[in-house]
Chains A and B, each alone.
Chain A
Amino acid sequence: MKILETKNITFSYDRKEVLKDINLAVEEADFLGIIGPNGSGKTTLLKMLCRGLKPGQGRVLFKGEDIFKLDTRFVAKNIAMVPQDETIIFPFTVFELVMMGRSPYIDRFSWEKQEDVKIVESAMKLADISRLKDRSIDELSSGERQRVFIARALAQMPKVLLLDEPTSHLDINHQLDILELTKKLNENVKITVVMISHDINLASKYCKRLVLLKNGKIFTEGKAKKVITRKVIKQVYGVDVELIKGKVLL
């Protein structure tokens, strides 16, 4: 069943058209990678999947319903986004930040319940940040912060997890940790994942399907084997590469 769909979405910043007529369908329990050169519209597309941006034209559907017509808290309970690094000014603790992931579930007039605390603790454990619990967010490295945002998204207990370059600030070991974790959630809990990645090789290793964007259009999509070819890389990125066992070598 299609859990997320875009119908002919178009988006422009001022007059510059960033996305043109994108039709994308994400099946339940899919692990979709969005790749493409800088400025190809990857982040814009991802933001539109979670109400972060409103398309100029077209519609975004969650289980067949327009997400801009759904209740904002309902959307937040179902779709979670891990944005690229945000600057945080006030010294919230890691625990407080991850707890914000519970906010779609917490009533305006009440404090968090024992159940929320449990969920937050297990989200922190999954993202391997339990020991940072009481640290202030401004004392953390950017890699640690990234994992805090991932934990916050997990605390939302979403059906769909959107990740905007989740490994960009991480060491190679944490890159793999995060991708393994995402894979586990995808396989065991059947969370649908849509992930932007700069790293074509990591994307093709972990994603079940890839969408390659060029100049705001879908250039090609499908299994990694079909998408990542010498010819396509040359056409989209303009560089000559060698492929060994499906891996790009420069």
Chain B
Amino acid sequence: MPILTRGRRRIRYELDSPAEGPADGPVFVLVNGLTQYIELWEPYRYMLVAKGFRVATFDLLGQGISDKPSLHITQDDQVAVLHDLIAELGGGPIFLAGISFGGVIALRYAIAHSDTIAGLVAISSFAELPPQLYLLGSVMRTGLILGGTSFLMDMLFPMNLSNEWLAHQMDALEMAKRRGWLLNDAYALQNLMESFLEFEPMTPQLSSIRVPTMVLNGEFDFLTPRSLQESLRVNIPDTELVFVPRAYHAFTLEKPVLTADYLARFARDVMSGRWKGKKTIWIGPEEPGGDFTPFPADFDHMRAIPVRHDKPQAAELEMANSGETTPR
């Protein structure tokens, strides 16, 4: 079990590499969401390696079997850990992807160290804490305190996954929750949540992110809804906003094959110079290998019902997407 040491702290990580290929080939670094741990990225380790990428996964401070500081964990500590891990990966383009809490850490990292990565994927992420998200976070913290980790698991599964997935997994759900409950310690989760108590919006710093950035937003994600993803699209200079059809907040768990396909295609586009960026808006395919479709320029992508844009905005979006009717 590889261990990264930072001061007194021990961070567990895994680095998977293709059997054939250079030691400094392109690498994806995947950052966990709040209650996640390395093993939940296993499908990505399997599929991205099969597509020729190295894959680095790790448990953040307070997660899985990395050290769990007893009283304080700051987000700056997590960024410092990520910086140490990335320094271990040697040459080769580095693509950083994080989901939700991990997306916040990835955004913070990209703001501070854009020069060390080739691309960023912000998945169900956010740079601000508007009242809905702040209050939902407070409810989650209270739930953790009053009902323990198992209550939090009970709440997160139906909040973040689709009916279809839940119906299919119903028999195995208790086992899934037990695994999360076993590996998560309540005090450590509380420390991770409380790292948001002094949260300042990152929006003013997003312009410091100088790498191609794909923002992934589940179509039905109500925890980190479209307005938060739109803020990333607008404020990070070189973005594409991609809607993942029929997806909720935790679609990395629900649709690993599809999401791994998105990640691999993003990295290949960046490395080959095919990356478009330009703050364009896309509807992702529902199946791996499918087409990315430009969001209809004359409709307001911020609405859940088809409302037309005013003309100048529509023209601007149409211009950004011009000529992009074929798969990327």
A and B assemble together: no
Binding site for A on B (CB under 8 A): none
Binding site for B on A (CB under 8 A): none
